[in-house]
């Protein structure tokens, strides 16, 4: 059997599955009787003591890892907080709330307070509160700590999702690979996996159901799949692939800060896709020419409330400052009916990817859009901001959005609030209807960025989340390259830039074609940057142009992939590639 997901940290490993099922509390709803109060308070005290002992033990273990030790110390502070302690006790003794429900209620209250803080660092502290809450509740339930800190043997960890508390103590020597059911390239798990260089495939639907403990699987975190019951031949083949990949990745690192100049002297631009806005992510700014895709959904999705103007402004300012004078392309809210937002009742849709999402939702909820635009315009004085709108299918939506931006700019002027008048406005090209009128679009925008993941799903009419139609979702479909070629020609004629910010932009097989089509701005995840630069430096644009012409006329995605693989082999001349 093969399971598919998103490869977020490259590598190929073979190993035994260990399903990780962390403690998830069930809260008592019934009140205590007065007679139970003393024993309830005693149980709470015992839980607190146990939690403190666990944290002490963790802190000792982390003595040589100051970053993690700091997190553990912060957890101790939270656990010992006198105000929360007093409030929990008074809920138990005064309101007869059972200890577990009391802990949950008080921790949730203060987590919400921190989340509403204007300070982004304080907002992050809310997740520390969640971690301590869980630890306390588990100690109260008398469940021993199940964690990934001391594994008896090397395993591939399979979980529904991993929390920061799960990964903070990760036994790096024994975690061969990570598979989770939820999460994507910008999730916490992805960032940790990349920083630890642990191969990881996330968003693998049904992983917990289909994989069992002790079963040997092949985890291919280059292609994004898990292979069960491998044959001896497959094990030999994938082991060899794994060694090649590791060797290649080791060599790649040297190129992280290299200039992405082709052999014939063209300086391409390599940008970063971001969407978590934490320190690890923003540190990537030093290695790239800017941020080509700043996803703003994290503001809405990791929160129990709709983010206000000030909260958004602070987040945007933080990103702009991290990138200094380098451009940052902010993408306005890209959510729809497949994701429920706290504080925003979205009707369920039968086809959410063909529904009210992206700019369509922004225009339907003008209050949200105007708030976001104001926050972005205000932040524009702190760096080099560009704004782009996702899911644009027709020019009238674009014109309406531009009008809103102009109105909000005028309102800021009236209020005497400064903003940068030179902000470039662009759109994501994902919807075929807008791609096909590129000649008209080019007159209305300063730039476009092609989201190849959605463009491919709409061109091929294949839901990229549905494993059943996976063979129909063809990243190398000739239509994708023809559309890209048309966009590149039209915009080049007008002297306006085209970039690609989908998966294709960081794909070593596709980069030569994009370069050959004249798309010299590529935006990708940090993990792809070094490899992409290395590849660009071996590229000859004359050859890449010929390749781009050729693949637009090959008949199938399979043929194109074979051609691209052959080209990649020739380009690297003897050095290995992770894709071969």
Partner 1 sequence: MYSREITIVNESGLHARPASDFVKLAGTFQSRIELKRLGEEKTYNAKSIIMLMSLGLAQGEKAILSAEGEDEKEAVDALAELVANLEG
Q: Provide the binding-site residues for partner 1, judged by CB under 8 A.
A: 70, 73-74, 77-78, 80-84, 110, 113-114, 117-119, 121-122, 125, 129
- Whole-angstrom Cα distance, residue 358 to residue 69? 40
SS3 449: strand
Give the number of residues written for the chain: 580
Residue 210 a catalytic site member: no
Q: Cβ contacts of residue 68 below 8 Å, gap of 6+?
A: 62, 168, 169
214: phi > 0 → left, psi -120 to 50 → alpha, else beta; which?
Answer: left
Report whether 238 contacts 12 (CB < 8 A).
yes
Nearer to partner 1, 105 or 216 (CB): 105
Cβ proximity to partner 1: between 104 and 245 the closer is: 104
What is the C-alpha to C-alpha distance for residues 424 and 447, in angstroms, rounded to an integer? 8
For residue 493, how many other CB atoms are within 10 A of its CB?
10
Minimum distance, C-beta of residue 84 to partner 1, in the bound complex (Å):
6
Closer residue to partner 1, CB minimum distance, 76 or 453: 76
Which of residues 107 and 579 has its CB atom nearest to partner 1 in the complex? 107
Q: CB 63 → partner 1: shortest distance, Å?
A: 17
User: Out of 460, 477, 501, 520, which one is annotated catalytic?
Assistant: 501
Q: How far is the CB of 190 from partner 1 (least distance, A)?
A: 24
In 185-340, beta strands by DSSP E: 200-202, 216-220, 225-228, 269-274, 291-295, 327-331
Beta carbon of residue 230, minimum distance to partner 1 (angstroms, whole number): 47
Compute the least distance from the CB of residue 66 to partner 1, in Å.
11
- Least distance in angstroms from the C-beta of 77 to partner 1: 4
Give the start-end residues of each E strand in 408-506.
Answer: 424-429, 447-450, 498-500
Tokens found for residue 402 = 């531009």
Using DSSP's 3-state secondary structure scheme, residue 244 falls into helix
DSSP H helical segments within 142-263, as ranges?
164-168, 188-196, 207-210, 232-252
Q: In which region does residue 56 sit, left (phi positive, over 0), alpha (psi from -120 to 50) or beta (all else)?
A: alpha
Active site residue 382: no
Query: Which one of the listed residues 188, 382, 477, 520 is annotated catalytic?
Result: 188
Distance CA 136, CA 191 (A): 27
CB of 137 to partner 1, least distance (A): 17
Taking the CA atoms of residue 33, residue 34, residue 38 and residue 39 in that order, the dihedral angle to the nearest 10 degrees is -10
Closer to partner 1 by CB, 82 or 265: give it.
Answer: 82
541 neighbors 572 (Cβ within 8 angstroms): no
Given the complex with partner 1, which of 85 and 297 has the nearer CB atom?
85
Nearer to partner 1 (CB atom), residue 120 or residue 276: 120
Nearest to partner 1 of 302, 424 (CB atom) = 302
CA-nearest of 368, 369, 380, 371 to 424 is: 380
Q: Nearest distance from residue 111's CB to partner 1, in Å?
A: 9
* Residues labelled catalytic: 188, 501
């Amino acid at each position: 059997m093969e399971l598919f997901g998103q490869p977020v940290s490259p590598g190929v490993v073979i190993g035994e599955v260990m399903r990780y099922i962390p403690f998830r509390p069930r809260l008592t709803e019934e009140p205590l009787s007065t007679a139970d109060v003393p024993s309830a308070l005693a149980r709470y005290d015992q839980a607190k003591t146990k939690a403190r002992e666990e944290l002490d033990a963790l802190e000792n273990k982390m003595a040589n890892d100051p970053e993690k030790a700091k997190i553990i110390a912060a957890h101790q502070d939270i656990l010992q907080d006198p105000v929360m302690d007093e409030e929990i006790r008074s809920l138990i003794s005064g309101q007869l709330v059972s200890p577990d429900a009391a802990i949950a209620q008080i921790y949730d209250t203060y987590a919400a307070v921190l989340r509403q803080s204007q300070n982004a660092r304080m907002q992050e502290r809310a997740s520390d509160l969640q971690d301590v809450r869980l630890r306390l509740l588990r100690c109260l339930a008398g469940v021993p700590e199940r964690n990934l800190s001391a594994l008896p043997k090397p395993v591939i960890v399979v979980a529904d999702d991993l929390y920061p508390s799960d990964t903070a103590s990760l036994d790096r020597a024994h975690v061969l690979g990570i598979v989770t059911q939820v999460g994507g390239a910008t999730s916490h798990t992805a960032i940790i996996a990349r920083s630890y260089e642990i191969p990881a495939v996330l968003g693998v639907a049904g992983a917990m159901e289909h994989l069992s403990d002790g079963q040997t699987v092949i985890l291919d975190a280059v292609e994004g799949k898990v292979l069960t019951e491998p044959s001896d031949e497959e094990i030999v083949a994938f082991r060899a692939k794994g060694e090649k990949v590791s060797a290649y990745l080791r060599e790649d690192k040297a190129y992280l800060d290299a200039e992405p100049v082709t052999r014939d002297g063209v300086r391409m631009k390599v940008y970063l896709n971001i969407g978590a806005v934490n320190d690890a992510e923003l540190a990537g700014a030093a290695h790239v020419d800017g941020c080509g895709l700043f996803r703003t959904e994290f503001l809405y999705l990791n929160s129990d409330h709709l983010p206000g103007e000030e909260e958004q402004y602070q987040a945007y300012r933080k990103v702009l400052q991290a990138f200094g004078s380098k451009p940052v392309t902010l993408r306005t809210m890209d959510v729809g009916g497949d994701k429920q937002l706290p504080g925003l009742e979205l009707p369920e849709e039968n086809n959410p990817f063909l529904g009210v999402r992206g700019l369509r939702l922004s225009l339907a909820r003008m209050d949200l859009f105007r708030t976001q635009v104001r926050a972005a315009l205000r932040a524009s004085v702190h760096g080099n901001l560009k704004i782009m709108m996702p899911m644009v299918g027709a020019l009238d939506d674009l014109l309406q959005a531009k009008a809103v931006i102009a109105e909000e700019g005028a309102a800021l002027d009236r209020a005497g609030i400064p903003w940068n008048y030179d902000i470039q406005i662009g759109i994501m090209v994902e919807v075929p209807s807008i791609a096909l009128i590129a000649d008209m679009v080019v007159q209305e925008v300063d730039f476009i960025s092609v989201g190849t993941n959605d463009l491919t799903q709409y061109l091929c009419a294949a839901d990229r989340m549905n494993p059943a139609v996976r063979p129909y979702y063809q990243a190398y479909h000739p239509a994708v390259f023809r559309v890209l070629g048309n966009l590149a020609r039209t915009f080049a004629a007008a002297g306006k830039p085209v970039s690609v910010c989908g998966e294709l932009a960081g794909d070593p097989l596709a980069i030569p074609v994009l370069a050959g089509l004249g798309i010299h701005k590529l935006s990708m995840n940090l993990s792809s940057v070094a490899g992409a630069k290395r590849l660009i430096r071996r590229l000859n644009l004359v050859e890449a142009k010929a390749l781009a012409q050729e693949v637009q006329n090959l008949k199938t995605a399979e043929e194109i992939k074979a051609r691209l693989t052959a080209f990649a082999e020739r380009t690297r001349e003897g050095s290995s590639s992770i894709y071969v």
